Structures are given as structure tokens and as C-alpha cells.
Amino acid sequence: MNPSKPAAAAAPEETPTATRDSLSITDNRTGRKYEIPIKHDTIRAMDLRQIKVKDGDFGMISYDPAFTNTASCISRVTFIDGDKGILEYRGYPIEELAEKGTYLETAYLILHGELPTRTQLEDWTYHVIHHTFIHESIKKFLDGFHYDAHPMGMLISTVAALSTFYPDAKDIFNPDSRRKQTYRLIGKMPTLSAFAYRHSLGMPYAYPDNDLTYPANFLNMLFRTTELKYHANPTLERALDILFILHAEHEQNCSSTAMRGVGSSHVDPYSAIAAATAALYGPLHGGANEAVLRMLVDIGSVDKVPAYIKGVKAGERKLMGFGHRVYKNYDPRARIVKHIAYEVFDVMGRNPMIDIALEVERIALEDDYFISRRLYPNVDFYTGLIYQSMGFPVTMFPVLFAIPRTAGWIAQWEEMLLDPEQKISRPRQVYLGAARRSYVGIDNRS
């Protein structure tokens, strides 16, 4: 159905039968009846436009601040059942991908719709790994940042700067160009992130090592010092790879919406990824992992948890790492993350903050405030503890979310570009401002 073409109104005297896939609406202002088609339990907002009081009216629109009940696209990438706590990429349960897959295999799945064959995976891995180097001028760019610049600010800026190095990326409707930018983006995001980290420490940049796996190479660029060859601890390498799988995609969240919205103006993908990364930076989204760690430090000890929760219930603050727009049950990613935490602690030693986190979770899950609002731990609740144990400073936590999410952003962007129903993103508003009035000269203003 063409969304710009409203369905014909039913004749006023017609009474729709109960078996039709349609919604009957009576406009009590006029007494007119309308029959709106239903498909996939959804009506088209444009079908409301025919509802008018008089000819010449604009017609009815729907009001949905923060898009809590509005689908802005048809997607085939990720399925979430928030009530049941189900997350699937292209139909594969997150638990199976986390247990059996790798991040690069998962990124391929998200982008291509199918798991790769062995040859496809080798080819994909080769191309990603061979696009990890960044132009030397980017280093000069990074050098301009203050020593305590937040790495997310550096990542947003440097990924945007990549658009100036690859003007071919503007050719967005060319599949070969899109593939090339995909290799570059997935290959270079860890390098930009690691270089931002090294800059903040004042350490020389460690270049990519193409012999290493995707997560091991990232650890190499972050942590290599004088050794000629970096060897990642296999438990930490696998833990990071699983965390990357869990963060790879999450349908129409704030940053994917930014990616689609900005990309819908047909800007190059580097600029759109910079916008998506900026959206992820906020503490209500990907910045929550950083905020959780700061909260746990703030709480300080297990005995202070009840008082902190009391403050949350009194509306003084939010419990970071809790609640989700779509999960009204335990976030399936949080379950897996909690398990990984203990594996990392076995290698790096127990993070003492885990006891505070467990106490927060225990009290919250028994408390009516959280039960009645269906607030459960989300993916960010335990990730910070793992990252901290692995040696990352808190400011790097959102960066560790942005790297893997790049695959999801590109998949959402490409799906948007190739969807003939999509156009430049442009919501409506309900205007309640001043009525038309005449300009008042500055001497006559009160």
C-alpha cells in the first residue's frame, strides 16, 4: 500500500463487519465513519489524514512523543519480544550466537541476512582486517584533543572526519561503494577508539596487527607496550568478542533511529555513523554503562544500597542500568553478561563492586516500585564491571558499545536506503505557539 495515498473512506451508512482486517472509526465531531485497513496489527498513520471536519482541513495526524507506539519502518534485521525477554538477529537467538558465534560472523549475519559459509567468512574477515589502518593525518587530528578529552567525543569527531578522506562514500546507491565503506567502518572503528584511548594516556599509538582476531587486535592496539608481538589472554579475548556480539544490533533504538534519520538525507555513512555515535553517547543509551560504574562508586558499599534505592524511589535519581523501553522482563543480554563477568573475574580477580551490584539487583527485584514498573537490569548493568576488570577506564565504556554497534547501524542504514517506501525523515508537530501577529519595532516592545 502507498502510505501517501489514504484508503478510501467507507460510506457513512456502511457498518463494518467484525471479521474484517480493519479499524472502524467514528469521528464524533462530524458523525462520519471511516474504515482503516489493518496489516500486521498496524494501521498507517497516513490513513488518518482523510479524517477532517471540513474540506480544506489538514486532516488528522497521530501524536506520539518519543515514538513509544509508532513504527517508522519495516525491518527484517532484529526481533525483540520485550515481554518475554527474547532477542534475535535475523532469526537467530542471541544466546546461541553468543555461545557459538564470533563477532565478525555475527556482523556478517546482521549485514547480509544469512550466516556466512566458510569461504564467505574468510573473505569478509580478510577485508575487514585489511581496512583497520587509518590515514596518518587522523593521528594529527587526535593530537589536537586535550589530554582529558572524552574518548566518545574523539570517536564521534574522527569517524565524521573519515568522510573527508573517502569522498567516494557519497555514492550511497552504489552497492560496491557501500560494501567498501562497510569494510572500512567495521575495520577502523576499533582503531579510532584505541588511538583515542592511547592519546588520553599520552602513549604512542599501537598499530593494527592483521595476524590477530578482531577482538585480539583491538586489545593489542589498546594495551601493547614494548612486546614485539601482542598475545591476548584467550578468556579476555573471547569475553570481549561475546560482548561485541551482544551489542551488535538492537533494532529501532535511539542511535539506530539517528542513523536512519540522518542517513535519510542521503549524507555519506561516516557522517551518519558520527550522528549515531553521538546518540549512543547519552547516559540514557550507550553511556549508561559508564553511568552504572559511577553510580556503584557513588554508593560505595553494600550497606549503603538501601538508602540509595530509597532515593531512587523518591525520584531523586534513576537507577542506572535498570529499565528499558522494550524489555519489560530481564534483558536477555544482561543474563549472558552476568555470566561473563565471573569468567573475567577468574582471570583478573574479583571486582569488589560486584557485591554492590548484586545487592542493588536483589533489593530492586524484590521492591514493588521496580516490580510494578517492570524495571529489570539491562545490558549495561554488569558490562561496566567487566570492562573495569579488564583494565578499561570508565570513559571507554560507551566506546566499547559503539564499536560493535557499527554493524547494526550500517544494516539499518542500508535497509532504509533500499526501502522504496522510505523518504527523508521528517515528523509532523502539533503547533501550539503564538498565533500570527505583526512585527513590533524594538522601540515599541515592552
For the question of residue 131 being annotated catalytic, the response is no
Q: Which is nearer to ligand CMC, 47 or 359 (CB)?
A: 359
By DSSP bridging, strand 32-37 and strand 78-81 are unpaired
C-alpha cell recorded at residue 238? 573471547
Give me the residue label for grid cell 519502518. Answer: 73
Min separation Cβ 380 and ligand CMC, Å: 5
Element (H, E) at 195: helix 175-201
Query: Is residue 324 close enough to count as binding ligand CMC by CB under 6 A?
Result: yes
Min separation Cβ 383 and ligand CMC, Å: 9
C-alpha cell recorded at residue 234? 584467550
Query: Is residue 397 close enough to count as binding ligand CMC by CB under 6 A?
Result: no
Catalytic-role residue among 47, 241, 268, 380: 380
Query: Is residue 98 close enough to count as binding ligand CMC by CB under 6 A?
Result: no
Distance CA 217, CA 194 (A): 10
Stretch that binds ligand CMC, among 47-55, 191-199, 219-227, 377-385 (CB under 6 A): 377-385
Stretch that binds ligand CMC, among 167-175, 189-197, 211-219, 317-325 (CB under 6 A): 317-325
Binds ligand CMC by CB under 6 A, chosen from 253, 256, 257, 388: 253
Phi-psi domain of 82 (left: phi exceeds 0; alpha: psi -120 through 50; beta: other): alpha
Min separation Cβ 196 and ligand CMC, Å: 21
Distance CA 266, CA 419 (A): 13
Q: Which residues pair with 81 in a beta bridge?
A: 86
Query: Is residue 406 close enough to count as binding ligand CMC by CB under 6 A?
Result: no
CA-CA-CA-CA torsion sign (411, 417, 421, 426):
positive
Binds ligand CMC by CB under 6 A, chosen from 101, 151, 187, 321: 321
Residue 92 three-state SS: strand
For the question of residue 127 being annotated catalytic, the response is no
C-alpha cell recorded at residue 209? 596487527
Binds ligand CMC by CB under 6 A, chosen from 101, 190, 263, 286: 286
Stretch that binds ligand CMC, among 42-50, 223-231, 373-381, 407-415 (CB under 6 A): 373-381
User: Using an 8 Å Cβ cutoff, are 381 and 332 in contact?
Assistant: no
Min separation Cβ 323 and ligand CMC, Å: 2
What are the helix and strand counts (H, E) for the chain? Answer: 17, 5
Q: Which is nearer to ligand CMC, 186 or 375 (CB)?
A: 375
Binds ligand CMC by CB under 6 A, chosen from 312, 336, 411, 416: 312
Catalytic-role residue among 81, 209, 285, 355: 285
CA-CA-CA-CA torsion sign (381, 387, 393, 398):
negative
Q: Which is nearer to ligand CMC, 34 or 392 (CB)?
A: 392
Reading across the β-sheet that carries 92-93, which strands appear in turn? 78-81, 86-89, 92-93
Positions touching ligand CMC (CB under 6 A) are 250, 253, 284-286, 288, 312, 318-325, 373, 375, 378-380
Catalytic residue numbers, as ranges: 285, 324, 380
